[in-house]
Amino acid sequence: MAQLLRVQNFTVSRDGFGAGEHQSLERPFGHVDPGGMFTWAGATASWPNRTDPGGSRGLDDYFTRDFTHNIGAEIMGRNKFSPQRGPWQDHEWQGWWGDEPPFHTPVFVMTHHPRPSFTLSDTTFHFVDDEPAKVLDRAREAAQGKDVRLGGGATVIREFLDADLVDTLHVAVYPSLEVGSGSRLWESPDELLDRFHLDVVPSPSGVTHHVFWRK
């Protein structure tokens, strides 16, 4: 079986932004409120950060459940990992996710400023300064036959799309939010239609799931 490179649950505003501007420690998504954007996922039974029982088990839950299904490694951009830019001031920052990151696999953080790997619970973070194809080779090897998730942000997703390395994308569009500036995935999903099939599936929660797979 081929090892796919999959984008899962990436959520964008109506105008195609995955995050706003001016990211900081207090505002991981910049001027965008992630609570609003991810309401669709947070309401599902399979949401990994759920603290109370319950949650919906409809269409949105299928996507949150699929987030971990057959995933053996993740690739993410440095700005998903950290609000710091440029050389690391120290190595104390270990991501936003606390002692139990939700990845449970090796994670490859793309950065021009590599630093030593470290492990938190069952997630090991590696820092790699390389071109997308080489990073994907490393992630595939680490995934031991399973698929690799491309975790975003939009900058690294665009890079892997430009290199034609992405096999499937699931993008949830949150239509009641317009962001205007920041980290943008697309102006329109139509940009990908020369290379991908697309199913567009509206959910009762208000988001519209876009599921792309290679032609």
Ligand X SMILES: NC(=O)c1ccc[n+]([C@@H]2O[C@H](COP(=O)([O-])OP(=O)(O)OC[C@H]3O[C@@H](n4cnc5c(N)ncnc54)[C@H](OP(=O)(O)O)[C@@H]3O)[C@@H](O)[C@H]2O)c1
Residues 8, 16, 30, 136: which binds ligand X (CB under 6 A)?
Answer: 30
> Which residue, 77, 105, 72, 81, is CA-closest to 5?
72
Distance of CA 52 to the CA centre of its chain: 24
Nearest residue (CB) to ligand X, 129 versus 199 = 129
154 binds ligand X (CB under 6 A): yes
Residue type (1 letter), 174: Y
162 binds ligand X (CB under 6 A): no
183 binds ligand X (CB under 6 A): yes
Helix, strand, or coil here: 35? helix
Give the H or E element holding residue 11.
Answer: strand 5-13
Name 88's Cβ contacts closer than 8 Å, sequence gap at least 6: 113, 115
Residues 101, 106, 153, 189: which binds ligand X (CB under 6 A)?
Answer: 153
Residue with tokens 């890079």: 159
Q: C-beta of 105: minimal distance to ligand X in Å?
A: 16
Q: C-beta of 1: minimal distance to ligand X in Å?
A: 26
- # of chain residues touching ligand X (CB under 6 A): 27
Nearest residue (CB) to ligand X, 85 versus 215 = 85
Q: Which stretch binds ligand X (CB under 6 A): 28-36, 44-52, 116-124, 160-168?
A: 28-36
User: 116-139 b/e with 16+ CB inside 10 Å = b?
Assistant: eeeebeebbbbbbeeebeebbebb
Q: C-beta of 30: minimal distance to ligand X in Å?
A: 6
- State both tokens at 47: 């949401």
Instruction: State how far the Cα of 114 lies from the Cα of 126, in Å rounded to an integer.
Output: 8
Give the H or E element holding residue 140.
Answer: helix 132-143
29 binds ligand X (CB under 6 A): yes
- State both tokens at 30: 């910049």
85 binds ligand X (CB under 6 A): yes
Q: Which stretch binds ligand X (CB under 6 A): 46-54, 146-154, 190-198, 205-213?
A: 146-154
Residues 7, 75, 156, 207: which binds ligand X (CB under 6 A)?
Answer: 156
Q: Report the number of secondary-structure helices (H) and strands (E) in the chain.
A: 6, 11
64 binds ligand X (CB under 6 A): no
Give residues in contact with ligand X (CB under 6 A): 10-11, 18-19, 23, 28-30, 77-80, 85, 110-113, 129, 131, 151-156, 159, 183
